[in-house]
Structure 1
Amino acid sequence: MPANQIHLVRHGEVYNPEGVLYGRIEGFGLSVLGQRMAEAAALFLQNQQAPVKGLFASPLQRTQESAAPWARRFDLAVQTDDRLIEPTNKFEGRRTSVKQTLSHPVEWPWIANPLKPSWGEAYVSIAARMLKAVDAAWQSVDDGDVVLVSHQLPIWMVHRSITGARLFHDPRRRRCSLSSITTLERRRGAFVEVNYREPAATLLATAVDSGAA
């Protein structure tokens, strides 16, 4: 049999003192608080006695570091899957706003179509690659659970895809906090969401959650 459950885990807080959109830029690792968040997520499923048999992570530093506690607690190697990566974004490396973009005509095409969105990787592309990664993870073990450490928007695209919601959305309303766990199962040939938990909830009050795509 393939995996019982797939756990989509977001990384912890990132050290980002300048408050830039870090996207895929190298060198953005976890803050001290982010490390505690990642530890809390892994400890939560360990305490739940989840039979985690596989561990995959996006290639970016913050997700690799967030996967480390899972590797240690469940005695697993971190397998890198490029499909779990943050989407591309033309605003990477900047502290920006729509007002600033409107003052630069050369950037107007970047915000021409928010339904796609025109400033980065299309939502349909993010959803498609993430669902392929989920399916591959499901087939990667004979039984037990698999953890995929990824980013807010990719995880949210999976949620909206499998729940039948339109992919275009208000980014401020994403239900995908730092080090949260979104759990899926496969039923009748399709993935369904069965749980959402926030093991690092007590740490969120002082966390800075900015810089994501």
Structure 2
Amino acid sequence: MPRVTVHLLRHGEVFNPDGVLYGRLPEFHLSDRGRAMADMVAGHFKALADGGAAPVHLVASPLIRAQETAQPTASALGLEIVTDPRIIEAENHFEGMKVSKAELFKPTHWRYFINPLRPSWGEPYVTQAERMLQAARDARRRAWELGGEGAQAIMVSHQLPIWSARRSAEGRRLWHDPRNRECTLASLTSLTFDGDDVVGVNYSEPAAALLPGAATTPGA
């Protein structure tokens, strides 16, 4: 079967001076650092293109931070951004709040902690993984149509959906400690497909130089 790589790109840093968990809220744009991260990722993909391995298909979440992260790569590679709602951020009860111990201990939230393995405070991990991997398989098929064997696609999404998709692809349990996610801002989780099967996972940080000092809001 033909092998195709789909890069799951997390968006860059967001301007969020209040430190809220912004989730699916609109109008959370990239910060200056986030735009620089997006430019660095675009440079990374342009270098791949110059080496003969140009991505041929670009997909992004409908949220503005994902669209803004995708734009420099679209310009560098001459690609259209295809918007796919399946790769949007996960739903979360705490969206719009500044999450702290004081906030979490309020009785009004207690019922959302009944099942942390699901999790009960938001969209189930399994649902996130399924929609992400379905979108990735569709991106793989489109990349194959456009570029054939060895083609590449890019999907710009969000930390938790990317991490859920990776853990599912690797056959690992989906519940986890959020502090241990390997999915930094503007990072790439690259899935190698043989047909519709994921046969390899690679992780890289093309904007690593900009990570020191970047925002670390949980779930962002």
* TM bucket, shorter chain: over 0.9
Q: Which residue number corresponds to residue 17 of structure 2?
A: 17
Moved more, 128-137 or 141-150: 141-150
Establish whether residue 117 from structure 1 lines up as the match of residue 119 from structure 2: yes
* Distance in structure 2 (CA, Å) of the matches to 1:158 and 1:67: 20
Q: Which residue number corresponds to residue 137 of structure 1?
A: 139
Q: Which residue number corresponds to residue 183 of structure 2?
A: 176
Match of 2:87 among 84, 87, 92: 84
The answer to whether the 8 Å contact 2:3/2:194 transfers is no
Moved more, 138-147 or 26-35: 138-147
Identity of aligned residues (%): 47
Say if 1:101 and 1:194 are closer, same or farther in 2 by CA, change over 3 A. closer
How much does 1:111 deviate?
A: 1.3
The answer to whether the 8 Å contact 1:8/1:148 transfers is yes
Q: Which residue number corresponds to residue 146 of structure 1?
A: 153
Q: Which residue number corresponds to residue 129 of structure 2?
A: 127
Establish whether residue 65 from structure 1 lines up as the match of residue 68 from structure 2: yes
- What secondary structure sits across from 2:36 in the alignment? helix
How much does 1:175 deviate?
A: 0.2
| CA deviation vs aligned residue, 1:157-182 (integer Å, no higher than 9, x gap) | 11100111100000000000110111
* Distance in structure 1 (CA, Å) of the matches to 2:104 and 2:33: 32
The answer to whether the 8 Å contact 1:178/1:209 transfers is no
Q: Which residue number corresponds to residue 56 of structure 1?
A: 59
How much does 1:70 deviate?
A: 1.1
How much does 1:77 deviate?
A: 0.8
Question: Match of 2:60, as an amino acid?
Answer: A
Question: Match of 2:29, as an amino acid?
Answer: G
Q: State the aligned residue count.
A: 212
| CA deviation vs aligned residue, 1:70-117 (integer Å, no higher than 9, x gap) | 110110110000011001111111112344332x32321111111011
- What secondary structure sits across from 1:4 in the alignment? strand
Question: Match of 1:198, as an amino acid?
Answer: E
Question: Match of 1:13, as an amino acid?
Answer: E
How much does 1:212 deviate?
A: 2.5
How much does 1:192 deviate?
A: 3.0
Match of 1:185 among 189, 192, 198: 192
* Distance in structure 1 (CA, Å) of the matches to 2:28 and 2:189: 23
Which 4+ stretches in 1 moved above 6 angstroms?
A: none
Question: Match of 2:206, as an amino acid?
Answer: P
Note the residue ranges of structure 1 that are not aligned, 5 or more in a row: none
| CA deviation vs aligned residue, 1:18-45 (integer Å, no higher than 9, x gap) | 0000000011010010000011112112
The answer to whether the 8 Å contact 1:182/1:193 transfers is no
